[in-house]
Each structure stands twice: as C-alpha cells, then as structure tokens.
Amino acid sequence: MINWSAFKRIVATATFSGILAGLLLTAVQQLQIKPIISQAEVYEQATAAKISVSNNHGHDDTDHDHHSNVWQPADGAERTAFTALANISLAIGFGLFLTAAFSLRVNSKKKANDSPANYKADDWRAGLLWGLAGYVVFFVTPSLGLPPELPGAQSAPLHDRQLWWLLTVLMSATSLYLLVFVKQVGFKVLGLVLIVTPYIIGAPEPLMHAATALEELASTFIQATAIANALFWLSLGVLVSYFYKIFK
C-alpha cells in the first residue's frame, strides 16, 4: 500500500528544493559558464560559416537554410528564462531521487531503533553528505570518461554517450551504497569492482579527433562546470534535509 503522506512529503521536498537549487545553478552558470559558452559559440558559428561557404558553391542551400531557421531562444532574458526552467526541471528530478534515498535511509534507521544522536535526519551536515554523494554519482564519475563539452566540440555519437553515462551512474550509485552502507567485505570488494568497470569498458570516443581553438577553452569550461555542479548538488542536499524536516 502506498503511503501517500510520505509520497507527498517527498514530492514537496523535491519541488521546493529543486526550485531553489535550480535558480542557484542558473545564477552560477550566468556568472561562470555563459561567457565561456559565448566564446565557443562565436568560434562554432564562424567555423560553420566557413564550411558552408566552401561546401555550397554551386550546391543547393536548402539544408543550410533549414538549420538556420530552427527556433532557439533569443539571447538575453529569454534564453536565461529557458535555461532557468530547464535547470529547475532537472533539479526537481534529481531532488526526487535524493529525497527518496534520504527518506529510505531515515526510515530504515527508525525501524532499527537507532539513537537519534547517531543519525539526525534534519541535520544540514547529513544533507551535505547526500548532496556530495549525488555530485559524485551524477557528475564526477561520468565526467572522468565524458567531460563536459563545449558547443562545437568533437564528440562520440549521442546514443553511445547516453548509454555509457547511464551505465556509469548506475554502477557508481550501487558501488557507493555497497561501500558506505554494507558491512560485509565481499560486497565492498564488489563495490570497488563496479566503480571501475565503466572505465575498463571505456567511454565512447569521437569518430574524428580534430584539433580546434576550442581546446583552449575546454579546460576552463570543465573547471567552471565542476564548480557549478558542486554548488548545485551540495545546496540541493542541504535544501532537501531542510524541507524534509519542514514537511512533516
């Protein structure tokens, strides 16, 4: 039987936490990441224009016109608003995962009759740890094989990247659970095996490797994205612990 009270608590916690964390991520992106992306887009557009000119002499421009007419948000307030909406939606989704895991852990502790002194569900420090776990699972481990990419960068086929990302997230989440919450040594060894398996398989590689001026921005972009995601996940964890206490 579904516990509707617990379900509503999880949804409310994830929603409020996701809205605030998504807005924070948007603000950090505007300050740190947007200028880097803008530089990359300038280069990408210049490169695309050169390719179009060189390839379309005497050819039909229908395909080029089709791509040029694809709708996208205008720079400025409209683009920022759509970015904020996307970040909030993503944050609420991640918040649901985080709150559900948080709730399961709290309830398991209660059933085990653990002392509240040993585990405080509403402690912001517990929220930080859960946020850190989310950061490791959803950003750090996938980024070791597939680092964040600038617009116009060479990349592997999307399907291959999505599949490897999903495999890495699932294995790292399972590994983290086994390493932290399971006491048996055998399961801890299994956790270590799981966390390195995606890298043994290997992340998908681009079909072509091309040296471009974007490489000069790539390192800065990766660092800025790592910082932004760290702030996002840690704040999401703290907010989840706070709102989970509020929505009793």
Rounded average pLDDT per 10-residue block, the chain, 248 residues: 83 96 95 85 62 53 49 76 95 94 77 52 81 96 91 80 96 94 93 96 77 71 94 96 89
**What pLDDT is stored for residue 123 in this prediction?**
76
| Token couple for 12 | 């409310």
Contact (CB, 8 A) for 243 and 12:
yes
Helix residue ranges per DSSP H, 146-184: 158-181
**What pLDDT is stored for residue 206 in this prediction?**
79
pTM of the predicted model as reported, rounded to 2 decimal places? 0.82
Contact (CB, 8 A) for 241 and 127:
yes
**What pLDDT is stored for residue 21 in this prediction?**
97
Q: What are phi and psi of 208, to 5 degrees?
A: -135, 140
**What pLDDT is stored for residue 168 in this prediction?**
97
Residue 179, Cβ density class (10 Å: 0-12 exposed, 13-18 middle, ≥19 buried) = middle
**What pLDDT is stored for residue 64 in this prediction?**
47
Give CA–CA dist 138/135, Å, rounded. 6
| Token couple for 157 | 């086929």
Angle at 206 between CA 201 and CA 209, to 5 degrees: 125
Q: What are phi and psi of 75, to 5 degrees?
A: -60, 150
Angle at 236 between CA 235 and CA 240, to 5 degrees: 120
**What pLDDT is stored for residue 108 in this prediction?**
72
